Amino acid sequence: MTTVLDRIKTYKLEDVAARKAALPLSDVEDRARRAGRPRGFAETLTRATKEGYGLIAEIKKASPSKGLIREDFEPADLARAYATGGAACLSVLTDTPSFQGADEFLVAAREAVNLPVLRKDFMYDTYQVAEARALGADCILIIMASVSNAQAIELEEAALFWGMDVLIEVHDAEELERASLLKSPLMGINNRDLRSFDTTLDTTRTLSRLVPPDKLIIAESGLSTPADLAELARYGARAFLIGESLMRQADVATATRELLANPLTATGI
């Protein structure tokens, strides 16, 4: 059975091949070297979790399962609203066919604020990693469900070479075990199954117990209220990646601020 993730991988590999043909790797690497220093995504997020919750606020126009999420879509304005609301970092979708994202969305968002930015895309090739740094990204995503162990290691090493951080995303115990081969301290637990698109917070409740103590748990998907964050904080998640529920709000800054208000303290876990 062909899944959504399979279809994404097929067109993404075609897209990467087309990008390579249009712009040689050496040119991309030249741009990456001129991009300046990364802003320290993991450091910033970890620091935020010591004071409250660490929020990776996502700039996301659409999704394969929900279609268009926000019609009034200005990445720079959204980035400023998230920063005003207290987000520690940003995540920007750059995949076009499934999420109506674009590389220029990341550039615009990062230029508008001082927050570190994750390039949210489906990574398969080290060309994409150099490309991410050339765009100004401070962190990349590795989805364990979509890559082999060898690919994951290769992508992570490329990111580290460019000084970027890596968010490793898992959905089940097998992927979490494979992710232990990687160096990154950022362990994202996606409550949405990328094969079926079903979402349940039980994924974080279950997998959080298996995450090594030296990793920072980042709960992703299905989160919309302070109660959701407090519930998963009880299972060790102090950082969260949230997009859709905030993107649907008329006042994004206020919605972000209210979501992060009154975090569950570590002593209350």
Q: What is the pLDDT of residues 128-160, one digit of tens each?
A: 999 999 999 999 999 999 999 999 999 999 999
What is the amino acid identity at position 104? E
Average predicted confidence (pLDDT) for the chain: 95
Segment 3-31 mean pLDDT = 95
pLDDT of residue 134: 98
Task: Report the alpha-carbon distance of residue 118 to residue 184 in Å, rounded.
Answer: 14
Task: Report the alpha-carbon distance of residue 20 to residue 81 in Å, rounded.
Answer: 35
| Residue 78 near residue 67, CB atoms below 8 Å | no
SS3 of residue 140 by DSSP? strand
Catalytic site positions: 58, 60, 120, 169, 190, 220-221
Name the more confident of 252 and 195: 252
Query: For residue range 159-214, what is the model confidence (pLDDT) as tens digits?
Result: 999 999 999 999 999 999 999 889 999 999 999 887 777 899 999 999 999 999 99
Which CATH number fits the domain 4-260, given the four candidates 1.10.10.10, 1.10.3720.10, 3.20.20.70, 3.40.30.10? 3.20.20.70
| Residue 262 CB burial class (10 angstroms; 0-12, 13-18, ≥19) | exposed
pLDDT of residue 85: 98
Residue 62 in tokens: 């659409």
Residues of the chain with pLDDT > 70, as a percent, come to 98
pLDDT of residue 198: 84
* pTM, entire model: 0.96
pLDDT of residue 2: 77
pLDDT of residue 13: 96
- On the question of pLDDT at 268 being above 60, the answer is no
pLDDT of residue 197: 75
pLDDT of residue 4: 83
| Ordered alpha helix ranges (H), 39-184 | 41-51, 75-85, 103-112, 126-135, 149-161, 173-179
Residue spans of the domains in the chain: they are 4-260
- On the question of pLDDT at 76 being above 70, the answer is yes
pLDDT band at residue 269 under the 50/70/90 scheme: low
Name the more confident of 224 and 195: 224
pLDDT of residue 266: 63
